Amino acid sequence: MTAQHTSTSVAPTNPSQNAQDFVRFAIECGVLKFGEFKTKAGRISPYFFNAGLFNDGAKLAQLAHFYAKAILQSQIEFDMIFGPAYKGIPLGAAVAIELSRFGKNVPFAYNRKEVKDHGEGGHLVGATLQGKVLIIDDVISAGTAVKESIQLIANAGAIPSAVAIALDRQEKAKENDVDLPHSAVQYVKKELNMNICAIATLTDLLSYLELTQDPDIKPFLDRVKTYRERYGVDAI
C-alpha cells in the first residue's frame, strides 16, 4: 500500500522562536562552540558549528523536529526528500519521519557515492526521484555538493526545488584565496535558482548572544559581531 500525502495538521511555532530554540539546543549539545577556530576558508572564526555532534537518537530526533518546523514555516513546495551522501542521509531520513508526525508524509531517497554493481545496482536508494525534490543537508559551504545533488535529481527527471540546512553562516564565499561578494547560500539561491530554508542564521546567533545571560558565552558577542562585519553578507 502506498502512503498517502497529507496536509500539515500541526501549526508550527513562529520562525524566530524556532531559530532561537535551535541555537540554544546546538549550544547545549556542544554542536555550536565558541573560541578560536580555523575555517575551511582559512579564516579564524569565533564560533564553530559541527552538525556531526548531533550523534545520538534523542539529539537527532530533536534536530529533525527543528528542521520540520522550519520547512513547514517556509511554505516551500515539495513532493519528496533527498538526502545527499553522506551527512544528508541520516538527516533526510530523520526529517522525513518528523514531517510525517506533522501530517506531511512524503517519499525519501538518497544516493551512494559509489555505484553498486550487484543486487539492485545503481547509486540511488529509496523512493523514485520525481516531482519537486527538497534536498536536506547540514550547511552549504561552497555549493559544490548542492550542484551535484541538483544534477543527479535533474538527470532522474525530477525537479530540484529547494535546500533545507541547519545553519546559514551568512559569510562570504572564498575562491582562489579571494573573498567573494556573496555567500555560498546566496550563490545557490540566485545562480542555481533554488529556494533555501535554514533553521537559523548568523543573525539568529547574534540575537541569541545579545539576549543570553550565560557568562561563558556572552563575552563572544563582540567577537562574532566583528567577524560578521569583516566577512558577513546580507540575509537571503
pLDDT digits 0-9 by tens, 123-147: 899 999 999 999 999 999 888 889 9
Between CA 139 and CA 169 the distance in angstroms is 8
- Chain mean pLDDT for the chain: 90
Q: Could you tell me the residue ranges of all domains in the chain?
A: 15-231
Phi, psi values for residue 124, rounded to 5°: -110, 140
How many C-beta atoms surround the C-beta of residue 155 within 10 A?
A: 10
Q: Could you tell me which residue, 59 or 120, shows the higher pLDDT?
A: 59
pTM score, whole prediction: 0.90
What contacts 132, CB < 8 A, 6 or more positions away?
77, 78, 79, 80, 158, 159, 161, 162
**Residue 12 above 80 pLDDT?**
no
Catalytic residues: 116, 118
* Residue 236's pLDDT band (cuts 50, 70, 90): low
**Residue 5 above 70 pLDDT?**
no
* Residue 40's pLDDT band (cuts 50, 70, 90): confident
Identify the helix (H) or strand (E) that includes residue 80.
Answer: strand 80-83
CATH node for 15-231: 3.40.50.2020
Between CA 61 and CA 56 the distance in angstroms is 9
Closest C-alpha to 128, from 87, 170, 82: 82
**pLDDT score for 143:** 82
* Residue 9's pLDDT band (cuts 50, 70, 90): very low
- Residues 179-219 pLDDT 10s: 999 999 999 999 999 999 999 999 999 999 999 999 999 99
